[in-house]
Amino acid sequence: MRGKKASVCGGRSRKQEREIAPLIGSWFRSGARALPWRVLPKVGATRRDPYHALVAEAMLQQTQVSRVIEKYAAFVARFPTVLDLARADEQDVLAMWTGLGYYRRAQHLHAAARTIVDDFGGCVPSDVESLRSLKGVGRYTAGAIASLAFDEPAPIVDGNVARVLLRVHGKDAASDDADIQEWLWSTAQALAAATDHPGDVNEGLMELGATICVPAPSRPACERCPIAVACAARASRSQMEIPRPKTRGARAEVTCVALRVTRSDGAVLLVRRPARGMWANMWQVPTAEHAGLEVDLDASVQQLAQSLGVHIKRSRVAESFEFLATHRRMMFHVFRATDRGSARSVVSGPRHTDCSEPQSVARFVLLEQAAELPMSSPQRRIVLGSEAR
């Protein structure tokens, strides 16, 4: 049953894909945004540098273009070639990722660079299968690099493409549905096969989704859309209902008790998080995490101080703020203390705290050096102040 349905839809969509592919391609060439990763490597080049495409695609996963713009140029300047990235220290790669979130992407990109150097002679592969063998490169990213950097007729489906295609075909569905996903990929495949310029069509699809066919509750600018004539959602005025919103679970509530210990020279006591889980391998002030919001802050900070060898006479919350992530709501309560030598035992040698503690080794770090360490956004705020980025 599903096979028959798929073949019927596939036949119909291929015809429509032949109609809209050239419209999207020429629309994209006629005036797309000038984004840093769209700059061609040299005069006369027609395709982008594959390494730059790899970096950009890794950064752009689940991340808005405006946020990547702030980080992309500095990352490429720090690691100009795939060899530079392969040879870099992971802490430096992570540090350049600070603020972007999903930090595992940075570790995967780093590993991918090493694979490219070790197994592919330092050249980013052009075929989807080889690309997918790289860490952090899935179906979308492989298709994006193959098509955008090498003009291979490979399909891509991201949030933008899914929204555009579902609207054009008037499909009132949630884009994370498994059957819909397969339909999207086969439609995107037909689109890439229906043109001599798959790179422009694919990037045009995303550009369309990002600038014209925007998600609700924003209103799509159908009057400026190059494929409005072929759009079923526009015909039935159902743009705002497509795609159906995804269902998300409630955020887990977490209380974080952070202790910022300052030495007389201004250095701050930092610990590194474990290699697994959230903010893996990143630095922070000693912080205790508790499930829920009803936590005895005083008891928590006293225990934290004791585990560090820091004596606190009287504890008082210096600052509290909320940090929201997709699936967590974290309340940070920051305590401050001044070290008068009692924590020196912490400095003299690595000291491992209990396994249940969210951190391992503690050491004092001058603020100037701390600014170079990989830190999560809330911890960067605690260590460097809310102005620091």
Partner DNA sequence: AAATCGGGGCC
Partner DNA sequence: GGCCCAGATTT
Nearest to 259 by CA among 250, 268, 267: 268
Contact 310, 261 (CB under 8 A): yes
Q: How far is the CB of 149 from DNA (least distance, A)?
A: 11
Q: How far is the CB of 230 from DNA (least distance, A)?
A: 20
Q: How far is the CB of 57 from DNA (least distance, A)?
A: 5
Contact 345, 332 (CB under 8 A): no
* String of contacts with DNA for each residue 88-127, x by CB under 7 A: ----------xxxxxxxx--x-------------------
Radius of gyration of the chain (CA): 25
Check binding of 348 to DNA (CB under 7 A): no
Check binding of 325 to DNA (CB under 7 A): yes
Is the CB of 289 or the CB of 298 nearer to DNA? 289
Is the CB of 277 or the CB of 385 nearer to DNA? 277
Is the CB of 13 or the CB of 107 nearer to DNA? 107
Task: Fill in the amino acid letter for 226.
Answer: P
- What lies within 8 Å, CB to CB, of 257 at 6+ separation is 287, 288, 289, 290, 295, 297, 300, 301, 304, 333, 335
Burial class (CB in 10 A: 0-12, 13-18, 19+), 376: buried
Q: How far is the CB of 164 from DNA (least distance, A)?
A: 10
Check binding of 327 to DNA (CB under 7 A): yes
Check binding of 326 to DNA (CB under 7 A): yes
* String of contacts with DNA for each residue 142-181, x by CB under 7 A: x-x-------------xxx--x--------------x---
Q: How far is CA 203 from CA 25, 32, 70, 74, 208, in A?
A: 8, 9, 21, 23, 8
Q: Which stretch in 120-128, 136-144, 184-192, 229-237 sits in contact with DNA by CB under 7 A?
A: 136-144
Check binding of 49 to DNA (CB under 7 A): no
Residue with tokens 């752009």: 60
Q: How far is the CB of 111 from DNA (least distance, A)?
A: 9
Check binding of 198 to DNA (CB under 7 A): no
Is the CB of 153 or the CB of 204 nearer to DNA? 204
Q: How far is CA 135 from CA 38, 110, 139, in A?
A: 23, 9, 12
Contact 358, 278 (CB under 8 A): no
Q: How far is CA 249 from CA 242, 245, 287, in A?
A: 21, 13, 26
Pick the catalytic residue: 17, 57, 203, 357? 57
Give the Cα separation of 315 and 322 in Å (integer): 20
List beta partners, residue 329: 253, 324
Q: Out of 27, 28, 279, 335, point to the residue binding DNA (CB under 7 A).
A: 279
Is the CB of 72 or the CB of 79 nearer to DNA? 72
Q: How far is the CB of 121 from DNA (least distance, A)?
A: 21
Residue with tokens 């004791």: 306
Q: How far is CA 57 from CA 33, 150, 165, 250, 376, in A?
A: 16, 14, 21, 29, 21
Is the CB of 60 or the CB of 116 nearer to DNA? 60
Q: What kind and span of H or E run contains 289?
A: strand 287-291
Q: Which stretch in 79-87, 117-125, 135-143, 263-271 sits in contact with DNA by CB under 7 A?
A: 135-143
Q: How far is the CB of 143 from DNA (least distance, A)?
A: 8
Q: Which stretch in 232-240, 253-261, 276-284, 359-367 sits in contact with DNA by CB under 7 A?
A: 276-284
Active site includes 70? no
Check binding of 356 to DNA (CB under 7 A): no
Q: Out of 2, 3, 46, 64, point to the residue binding DNA (CB under 7 A).
A: 64
Is the CB of 104 or the CB of 336 nearer to DNA? 104
Would you say how long the chain is, in residues?
Answer: 389
Burial class (CB in 10 A: 0-12, 13-18, 19+), 214: middle
Check binding of 137 to DNA (CB under 7 A): yes
Active site residues: 57
State the residues that interact with DNA by CB under 7 A: 35, 37-38, 56-57, 60-67, 98-105, 108, 135-142, 144, 158-160, 163, 178, 203, 206-207, 209-210, 215-218, 243, 245-246, 248-249, 277-280, 323-327, 376-378
